[in-house]
Amino acid sequence: MQLEIIPAILVKTREELLSRISLVKDHVNIIQLDIMDGEFVPNKTIGLESLHGLPDANYEFHWMVFNPEKWIEKTPGPHMHLVHVETINDFDKIMSTIKQAGGRLGLAINPETPVEKLIPYLSNVEEVLVMTVRPGFSGQKYMVEMEDKIRKIRELKPSMNIEVDGGVCLQTIHGAYCAGANYLAAASAVFSGEIKTNIENLKKTAATGCNE
């Protein structure tokens, strides 16, 4: 599986958003934009008005919102849309909305949610994101017990991209990768200091000593 370091951008203004995109877009293949509505999680970030006319890049939108289809229909393009399994009311509607928008579907799962909640949907998604913190804020401690969840999903879907998000840094990235996550999202560990060097070090640390 292709190993990717994915910068996670959690900001409250379009100015911050564009600044962070410009810092990383030449160094990575995927950029994650974290969108929060202040209801599904206890924080609120940029809204739809900030997402139009973004620089060319491969984006994945991590929708920490209720009624994600209402947001996705206003965000057309070939993007990955990561929808929380806890917010699904009408899965067929979500799938059709993403198809009409020209995007692709992935699912995200919170720490307290069992893997079994994902199983009915796995045949229809391209990616799963495992939260290793409770969503809402950057800078939380990585929950190492979530690696068991990553292993279970990897057993179920050996060739699927599995992403981990939350508390990923040089001290935790190796465990996440060895558990089966090949997409590794990080915020502070990417943006604090020299970005290109941070990304290179994260990638090297993740893969060193793992049996593929």
Catalytic residues: 34, 165
CA-nearest of 179, 163, 170 to 200 is 170
Question: Cα angle at 78 between 65 and 108, to 5 degrees?
Answer: 35
Nearest Cα to Cα of residue 90 among 111, 113, 61, 70: 70
Radius of gyration of the chain (CA): 16
Place of tokens 């999680």: 41
Contact by Cβ (8 Å): 39, 199: no
